[in-house]
Structure formats: structure tokens, C-alpha cells
Amino acid sequence: MPNGYNGKILHVDLTKGELTVEQPNEAFYRKYLGGSAMGMHYILRDMPKGADALGPENVLTLMTGVTTGAAISGQSRLNANAKSPISGGIGDSQSGGFFPAELKFAGFDGVVIKGKSAKPVYLAIVDGKYELRDAAHLMGKLTGEVDDILHKEVDPKAEILQHGIGAENGVLFSSLVSMSNRHNGRTGMGLVMASKNLKAVAARGTGKVTPVDQKSLTQLNRIGPKAIPENGDMDGLAKHGTAVVVLFNNTIGCLPTRNYNESQFEGCEEISGEKMTDTILKERETCYACVVKCKRVVEYKEGAYPVDPRYGGPEYETLATFGSYCGIDDMQAVSKANQICNEYAVDTIACGATIAFAMECYEKGIITKAQTDGIELKFGDAETMLKVLNMIVKGEGELGKTLGMGSARAAEKWGNGADECLITVKGAEAPAHMPQAKRSLGLIYAVNPFGADHQSSEHDPYYEEGIGDFNLDRLKQIGLGSPQPAYSLTEEKVRFAYETEVFYSMLDSAELCQFVWGPTWTLYNGAQTAQMINAVTGWNLTVQDLMAVGYRRLNLFRVFNAREGLTRKDDKLPKKFFKQLQGTGPTAGFALTNEEVESALDSYYKLAGWTNNGIPTRETLKKHDVEWAAEYLPA
């Protein structure tokens, strides 16, 4: 792989049992870089309008990027895309670990999956060879058990991407999981794979990515380890993982508490990254070739809820959704919840937030024991939280089956004002960053094609008054240089949201980690991102060239959603965000207003070159060199 990629895409027709190889040209890779931009080429082309997300006509793509497998931090990422069973629009999800690099080493840059197998199968890819194998013996087994079996059947060093028992039981927010703890979560991609009777993809390869300019790549590699201790954000991430954000967000009034009713949690220290490091951290795990090592591995040998280190440890979002969202300050209980989600392959954000939603509904009398199988759902009850979680992943009881549909569908079923307790956008539960405090992030929650997401743009504090020169100098590389007042949603803040969303969009096409390559606080800046891609591929891309890929991806997403009937009406935030926050702290009493959000939507659509209904125009698609997609726009 002298230019970073194999030049091969594997096409799998599960209905026919046929596997074929496509060899796109260099221009195709240069235009899309990989990831979800490349996946959209196949999804728009091959999936008919109105396809059932859980039907054989849905197209699932698994894509790496042009630099995946290179010997540098932050490149081993995989993007999964398909029509989402949660939103009915595009589903998009990234994961890290070692599977992405191994897929590249096995000879392929991506896999396009269509149809439905008549029986459970798994896909084995070993050094350019590929076949579908029987998977009946893998059904009903935990992710760790499946890993053990396939390591014996395929190769001890194979990397395995799988759906889990959660998907087999119909849990809407099921993930794809590798290493038993790395998720392609949030948008139901696990349920999509399960609907196709494809249990797993196992990859093993001995290929190697050889950069065109090794000297340039070596120069960047020397910067990384030295930069970590000099960058407070990166140093904290390395030492405490994403859980380092717990105390920071609590301090600024941005830690969702008791289902987003409050913004500070009195038990935050007990579920903090610092507490984890000092007590239960067994080791720091990494992704392929990465020096940051932000992944946590925790262990509890004793106590009420033993925790197995093979299932990793809780990230910030998990600590929040099963912790502060539910009013629970028990680190062991939250770590056990994380393990269960990893064993059954379900998304921790959606699952924890759905339980918190049910707790609020119960405490407000919206539902009673008649809807909860006799369970008292109260904030702060760790034992009940874990009991309900087990019911969800196992599809047990009326409550488990109802909450397995996600909070939005549960609210429809329950009625009686349950929608007042929702924190969903396009059916997806909001992550643990509050738009009342980070208002431009709230705009991104609304417009993001696959629902509320915290990793689709940069967060407000990095463009507010008082920002340091380090971050401001980086933002100037993408044309942003005028920090705004705190808690504002000005025209300039909207531009900040949009342009950083475009940068993040590019990262999810190139398949680069947003904790390593980014527009502000990360290990490397935008110019260095271009330098790295050029060093591997031999191209001469600029930061502006990279941004062009980000524009393409966003527009292709919006074309798909428009074709499936999603418009401005779906770029809608939940009622809860417009109600004043309770409790204490710097954001107590804060709320969004309909006027500021609608005005921001107008500004955002104008910047994007879309209609006032949020749909790309033919002229905009032509501008971004994806005019071919115009044929999929609604008439």
C-alpha cells in the first residue's frame, strides 16, 4: 500500500451469497478520502427511496480512510453507515481500536453489504481472501464469547466487528462492537447488521501501509509524544480518559443531571475520571499505533457488582448517562452498566438516557407500576438501574421491551405528557453536553443529519471570550478569529458551529480521531492533518481541500435525508431544552428560546447554501463537486 490504500472495496450480496471486488480509481479516493463520504456514494446509488431500515434493501457500508493503518496516532477509525432504524434518515457512526487497521491490512478499504442471508453468517477476510461462513453457533453469545470462538476459527490475531444479543433481541439502539468494548453506536447500526443475518466481520491481514514521504510522517510522529504533557487538554485525556470531562462540565454547569433537569451533580466527584484513575483503573488501552492511550480498563473483583476488565471501562458519556442522568454516584454500578452494554452490544448513551427518561416519567406520575412491571423507578437507585438495564438488553418484561425501543418511541406509547421528558433529536437521545450552556452545540444537535451528537462540531468554550492564543491560532486556519461572549448564539457563533462541523465532517471521512486531529485543542492542528495525509498518500492537499471533503459529506447526508422525507421540521430540539434549568450553578435558570434557535437555523441554512427548508440546492451540490447527487433530491 504505497499510497495508503488498497484500491479495493468488497461488495457482499447476502441474499445471493455473492462477493465481488471493486477497484475504484485514485480520483475516487482523493475526492472522498474514505469513511462516510465514500459510503454515501454507494448508499445513495444502491438503496431505493423509502427502503425499510431493517429490510434487505438497506445498504450497510463499513469504510476506513486513506491513512488507516499508517504508523501514527489517531488513524485507526471505522465508519458504519446505513439508513437508521432510529431516525429513518442516515445513520452514521465511528469506532476506533484495531479492527479498522486490520481490515486495511487484510486487503480492503471498505465493505458494502446488501441483502439478507437466509441463515446467520459471518464474513471472514484474511489476507485478500474472503468468504461467508455459518454463524448459527455464535447466536445468543456475549461479545467476548464470540471473540473467543472466532479467534479459534479464523486466526488468533483476527479483529472482529459484531452485533450482539441486544440486536438479536431487537434493541433499537444496538451497536456494532469490536474488541468487546469499541462501539459503532448511536444510530442502530448493530440492529441493521442483525436484520441482514450477518453476525460478524472477522479481519486478519499481514499487509502494511508504506507512506510516500516517510520523513514527513516521522517528523509528525516526533511531535506527538512531546506535545501531550505540554497541552493541558491532551494531558488530561491521556491520564484520565474522556472521564476527565466530568468535573469540568460540572463546574461550568454543563453536566446533565436527573434527565437534563439540572446542570450540576452533587455526586460528580464519585464518578469522575480522577476518581477512576485513583481507585479502579487497571490499565490504559489504546487504538492501533496511538500514543494517547485514552481508553480506560477498569476492574472490580469484589463488591456488589464485579467488573471484568476485558470489557474496558466507562467513557465520560457513560459515566454521565448511567450516573448523573440517573442521579447515581456509584462508580461500581456505572462500570457494571458499561460492561453489560459492551457484553450485549448496545449504545450506552441511548440506554442510560432512556432509563433516566423512564425515571422522570415515573417520578412525575406519567407512568405507574402498571407500565414498569411493578418496579419503582427512582433517581439515585443503582440497583434498579441495573435491573432495568438487564431487562432492556435481554428483551424481558413489558418495561424492558418498551425501553428497548428508545425513549422517543416509549413516549409515543405512554402518552400522558411523556414527551415533555424527552431529550431526543431525530429519535436520538442527547449526549452529556448541555445546549443551554453550549448554545451553538444545541444548533448542531438540531441540524445534525443523524440526531443529537457531541462529536460533530467543536464546543462553544473554544470560541468564547478568554480563549487562549493556542486554540485561536488553530481556528484561524479555517477562517475563524472572532471569539464571542459566553452562552451566546450570535451570527458568528453560528458560523463557528458550521465551519467546525465541516472540519469534523472531513475527519469522519478521512477516518481520523477527533481527539488527535482537530481544529482546536487536539494533538495536531489542521495544517498538520493535511501534512499527514499528504505524507501517506503523496498528494498535495491543503486545509481548504480537506474542508471541501467535509462539505461534500454533509451535503450528501442532507440529500439522503431529504429523499427520505426529512426537512426543517426534523431539525427540532426537544421541549425540555426550552425550560429553565433547575438546581444551582452558573447555568441554573438557563433555557434556549424558540426565537434564537429559529434564527440560528435560518443563518445556518444560508451558510450551507440550502433552502430555508434545509435541503441542498443543485447549485450547492455542483459547487462542492457532488452534482451527481442532485438526481436524488425530492421533486
Grade residue 474 by pLDDT with cuts at 50, 70 and 90.
very high
Lookup: cell for 412: 409515543
CA angle 44, 102, 138 (to 5 degrees): 80
C-alpha distances (whole Å) from 311 to each of 146, 165, 427, 566 are: 13, 15, 27, 37
Q: How many Å apart are CA 181 and CA 342, to the nearest integer?
A: 5
Residue 1's pLDDT is what?
Answer: 77
**Partners of 83 in beta bridges:** 90
Tally Cβ neighbours within 10 Å of residue 231. 16
Where exactly does CATH 1.10.599.10 map onto the chain?
439-572+593-632
Using DSSP's 3-state secondary structure scheme, residue 627 falls into helix
Annotation: CATH topology of 240-429: 1.10.569
Query: What CATH number has the domain spanning 9-204?
Result: 3.60.9.10
Q: Who's near 79: CB < 8 A, 6+ residues apart?
A: 34, 35, 36, 39, 61, 62, 63, 64, 92, 93, 94, 184, 508, 509, 511
pLDDT digits (tens, 9 = 90+) for 383-396: 999 999 999 999 99
Tell me what the mean pLDDT of segment 235-253 comes to.
98
Where exactly does CATH 1.10.569.10 map onto the chain?
240-429
C-alpha distances (whole Å) from 131 to each of 14, 134, 197, 202 are: 11, 10, 15, 10
pLDDT digits (tens, 9 = 90+) for 406-428: 999 999 999 999 999 999 999 99
What phi and psi, each to the nearest 5 degrees, are found at residue 613? -100, 5
Q: What is the DSSP letter of 626?
A: -
Q: Which residue has the cell 450547492?
A: 620
**Partners of 285 in beta bridges:** 295
Q: What is the DSSP letter of 429?
A: E
**87-105 as b/e: b if 16+ CB within 10 A:** bbbbbbbbbbbbbbbbbbb
pLDDT digits (tens, 9 = 90+) for 477-507: 999 999 999 999 999 999 999 999 999 999 9
How many CA atoms within 13 Å lie on the side-chain side of 211? 21
Do 121 and 199 form a contact (C-beta atoms < 8 A)? yes
Grade residue 2 by pLDDT with cuts at 50, 70 and 90.
confident
Lookup: cell for 381: 437507585
pLDDT digits (tens, 9 = 90+) for 260-306: 999 999 999 999 999 999 999 999 999 999 999 999 999 999 999 99
Q: How many Å apart are CA 162 and CA 151, to the nearest integer?
A: 13
Q: What is the DSSP letter of 125?
A: E
Where exactly does CATH 3.60.9.10 map onto the chain?
9-204
Give the strand pairing for 9-13 and 110-114: parallel
Return the amino acid letter for 182: R
Whether CATH 1.10.599.10 fits 439-572+593-632: yes
Tally Cβ neighbours within 10 Å of residue 134. 12
**Partners of 424 in beta bridges:** 429
Do 42 and 59 form a contact (C-beta atoms < 8 A)? yes
What phi and psi, each to the nearest 5 degrees, are found at residue 151? -65, -35
Q: How many Å apart are CA 266 and CA 458, to the nearest integer?
A: 27
Is the pLDDT at 587 greater than 90? The verdict is yes
Question: Beta strands of 163-306 (E only): which ranges?
Answer: 176-178, 182-184, 198-204, 281-285, 295-298
Closest Cα to residue 563, out of 40, 29, 24, 189?
40
Q: Which residue has the cell 454543563?
A: 254
Q: pTM for the complete prediction?
A: 0.98
Mean per-residue pLDDT of the chain: 98
Grade residue 635 by pLDDT with cuts at 50, 70 and 90.
confident
Grade residue 435 by pLDDT with cuts at 50, 70 and 90.
very high
The distance in angstroms from the start CA to the end CA of the chain is 43
How many CA atoms within 13 Å lie on the side-chain side of 605? 19
Q: Which residue has the cell 450528501?
A: 556
